Amino acid sequence: MDKLSPLTPVSPRISFKSSLQHLDLEWTVQNLPHHQELKMIFLIEISRIRTSNIIWVGNYSTTVKWNQVIHWSWKSELPLECATHFVRIKSMVDNGMPPELSSWSEWSSWEEVHAQNPLEPNALFVFPKRKLVEEGANVTICSIFGSNLKDIFCYLEGELIHGEQLDSHILTFELSNVPFVRVSGMNFYCVEKPTNITDGIVLFVSKVLEEPKDFSCETRDFKTLSCTWSPGVDTGLGWSMQPSQSYTLVESVSRERKHCEHKNVCNWKITQELQEIYNFTLIAENHLRKRSVNIFFNLTHRVHPLAPYNVSLESIEATQATLRWKVLYHGNRYSLLCQVELEGEGKVIQQSNVSVKVSGEEIFSELVPDTEYQACIRCAGAGHFWKWSEWNCQKFSTSEAAPSEALAVWSTVREENGSCIVNLFWKPLSKLHAKGKILHYNIITENLDKPHRVKLYSASGLANDMKLTLDQCAYQINVTASNSAGQSPASVIAISGDSGKEVEEERIQRTEDGFFVSWKPLSADNIIGYVVGWCVRLQDPLCDLQWKNIGPNTTSTVISSDAFRPGIRYDFRVYGISTGRVASLIEKRTGYYRELTPSMNPRVTVKNLTSHSFVLSWTDYSTNDQSGFIQGYHVSLKSKNRQCQPGFEKAVCSDDSVCCKYNIKNPEQKTFTVENLQPESHYEFLVTSYTRVGEGPNGTFTAVTTPDELSYTLVQIILPMIFSVLLIISVCYWKSQWVKEKCYPEIPDPNKSSILSLIKSKENPHLTIMNVKDCIPDALEVINKPESTKAQVMGTEKPFLAESELTAYLYPLQKEHSGPGPWICFENFTYNQSASDAGLCGHIPVPSKDLPWQQGLLTQPDNLLNVLEGNCEQPLREIPAGEASLNYVSQLASPLYGDKDSFSNNPTTTMPEPCSDYKMQMAVPACLASPLPSKESSLSSVVLLDQGEHYH
């Protein structure tokens, strides 16, 4: 070893740490005096690859003792494995003089450092291995390869990057501001293309460790301090490269330390000797960095109380309730301030503060009956506020009370069938005034003319109207609302029997604020106010009626409502209210919230079509149901010659064609005559209505063709002629039927005959159709015929009687019997000629003794007379015309079917002889009743007539 100059550093010993990329140097200084310290400066040079390539030069100052080993460390940016490094040192005593005037020692010899073994020809390596850096740092990566490898390509996260050739077998890559990609690190690798020899590293990039934020400590029970903070981002990495940051709590006063198990909270136990002042330091650290925060506080200023408990509502009434609660006791020297809030309908309506140590109480007053509330309470330190406790809330409902306000009542009255139909309306009470659930409404009607006539009606609690039917008298109506606690004050409205005067309706327009309604004030002194009512213009009297009460000194108001809709017509009525609560109509108004164009056009029909004109009619078009006031109609007409009739103007129609248009300005005119037309011509028309906003929707034109003049003239002549002929035929037919009925009906009725006037003679001016005389008949003929046995003879309308269904009885009468009886004989001169024409005329002879067919009679003549006299005491002549029910027995008896055989077989019976004179007829009272004979007995030689029937 060469002899060194004095105070020259001995050749240093060099070691390295690959994970930290550090070179650690150790050296000594010879020839130092014993027990003496010198302040010295060491100049250090570091070379790479070769000694002449100096990459770093620096001074290191320190105090040196005799035989002292000096340590120094240097961090390399380039991984130490990538190249050979050389180090040498020289020294100088620091005597306060500038370095250039001082004397330096000689350089030590170069010390060579090899961190990597010599490479084989086909070797490829990438350094540093398992590198850990913070996000945003700069990193140098190198690739070393053997002599046989030439084409080296390197990739970062799959993307090719280009490096710097440090020498023929070393590539370096400078990565600036590296980002955090994933907890498992970034991938960097190099590959030699021909041989695909590959090597790479994982670069672990950590998030930057943040300083803990919002560091705070507090106690809830004076037993434990809870310190919390916001840790920030987690710096932990995968592959056990770096765990999440750790936290340590250090208290300076007590000099105690605690490692925190959680990353955002740490509990510190309070000692028995109450320590009021605390000074905490929170330290966060990982492999790359360490950060800390500090807090200093008084324990009594960091009290966060627990929530109150045993919270209850007591003595709950309609308008008040009592709240009671307890808190955790902290000793006599510490009290809490509790905040009490009362919430109703989602908002705080009452708030108060109460100072407590153990328990507290608060009384809520002025509550609304039948209302749900929520009482909430929380507490904080009374001496020094830190934090409120959690809320503790309890819900409760007050009990019901009787409604406190009278209903707003209104009515509409109309007359119907002599009665007053009263539609009564009322507005539901607000929750504040209802004070509970309305169960029903009571309506009491009192007749003011008859006070004892009182009626009670009831309506459901959900109803807001009622229909009453009253007479024309004056009434007073009281309306009240009832809940479970009672009923409201009565609302009084009077109905007058006077219908009042008629008021003309006027139109109004809506302003920006609403409908402006004004009226003339009433001069009467008993007017206490006005009412303005409005409703949609509908036929239904129970529409959604609304009203507004106005003071007596006001003569106008603006009606606005969110319910108003465009295109809807509203009716307004203004009433004056007297002291007797009687309403009198004084004004009528109507208007649209906003007028629109008509929603539909009139449906038009064509009438009176001629060759030169036709009439358009739309009488069923309603102007009240439109979306605006109809101001008139437009009649559009098209023709081939495009010539406009007088009064029409040329215009462009909805289909962009040219047409003629006529303006009807009267909305009530719903017919229009189109004149001056050409025969056999084609026209098209369209009728549209319009409001002040515009015209109705576009419609389709309707075609009409005028007839030719000749056809129209013929129709005008032929139709009246046909009608006249049909009328004459109808009159003649009716007259013939009348003559037939009067002169020769099929079934004659003497009571209805009017031919008498034709046969009266001067010699007998009192001649009548039927000359009633008193007579004593020789025989009585009784005829029975069921109604169902009538039939019609083929080819004639005359009825005939079936032989099997006719039964007749002939009763001989004793001649000795005299005196007037209930028999009527009359001569019928009207039918003399028809009787003669019958060919047979005569009496049916009655034998002096009973014939065999008479043996079956159940009633003898004497008994029969007794029946007649007993049951028909009233003479028929005394019965008014039309009320007597008689059976006419003709003394001209024509044989019926089979009668000739009967006469020929009976030698005692002679055939009636022909006669030219009609004989007297006899009327038998209808009250005569006799038993029916057996079906075997028959009488074929008599004419049978039913009640009301005549046969000749």
pLDDT per position as a tens digit, 334-376: 889 999 999 998 899 999 999 999 999 999 999 989 889 999 9
Gap between the Cα atoms of 431 and 370, Å rounded? 8
Tokens of 173: 């890559």
Q: What is the pLDDT of residue 561?
A: 85
Higher pLDDT among residues 580 and 776, named by residue: 580
Q: Which residues of 278-306 are buried (b: 16+ CB within 10 A; e: fewer)?
A: bebbbbbebebeebeeeeebebbebbbbe
Contacts with 479 (C-beta within 8 Å, 6 or more apart), sequence order = 407, 409, 424, 426, 441, 442, 443, 444, 490, 491, 493
Q: What is the pLDDT of residue 834?
A: 40
Q: What is the pLDDT of residue 127?
A: 94
> What secondary structure letter does DSSP report for 136?
T
Query: Which domains, ranges and CATH numbers included, belong to the chain?
Result: 9-113 (2.60.40.10), 124-206 (2.60.40.10), 213-301 (2.60.40.10), 309-398 (2.60.40.10), 409-592 (2.60.40.10), 604-710 (2.60.40.10)
Q: Which amino acid is at 353?
A: N
pLDDT beyond 50 at 830:
no
The confidence band for 540, taking pLDDT boundaries of 50, 70 and 90, is: low
Q: What is the pLDDT of residue 750?
A: 61
pLDDT beyond 80 at 92:
yes
| Residue written as token pair 């001169």 | 829
pLDDT beyond 70 at 391:
yes
Contacts with 77 (C-beta within 8 Å, 6 or more apart), sequence order = 21, 138, 140
Helix/strand number for the chain, H first, E second: 6, 61
Q: What is the pLDDT of residue 907?
A: 40
Give the chain's mean pLDDT: 78
Gap between the Cα atoms of 549 and 254, Å rounded? 79
Helix, coil or strand: residue 21? coil
Instruction: List the alpha helices (DSSP H) in 337-454.
Output: 431-434
Strands (E), 301-404: 309-314, 321-326, 336-344, 347-356, 359-364, 372-381, 392-397
Tokens of 510: 């809506």
Residue range 242-253, pLDDT digits in tens: 999 999 999 998
Q: List the end-to-end C-alpha distance of the chain, in Å, as a whole number.
A: 189
> What secondary structure letter does DSSP report for 224?
E
Q: What is the pLDDT of residue 99?
A: 60
Q: Select from 19, 32, 22 the least CA-distant residue to 68.
A: 32
Higher pLDDT among residues 449 and 677, named by residue: 677
Strands (E), 163-261: 164-167, 170-175, 186-192, 197-206, 213-219, 224-230, 246-251, 256-259
Mean pLDDT of 180-204: 94
Extract long-range pairs of 380-383: CB within 8 Å, 24+ residues apart: 380/305, 380/336, 380/337, 380/339, 381/300, 381/301, 381/303, 381/305, 381/334, 381/336, 381/337, 382/334, 382/335, 382/336, 382/337, 382/355, 383/300, 383/334, 383/335
Gap between the Cα atoms of 340 and 391, Å rounded? 10
Tell me the pTM.
0.48
Residue range 837-891, pLDDT digits in tens: 434 333 434 444 444 434 433 344 444 444 444 444 444 344 444 444 444 444 4
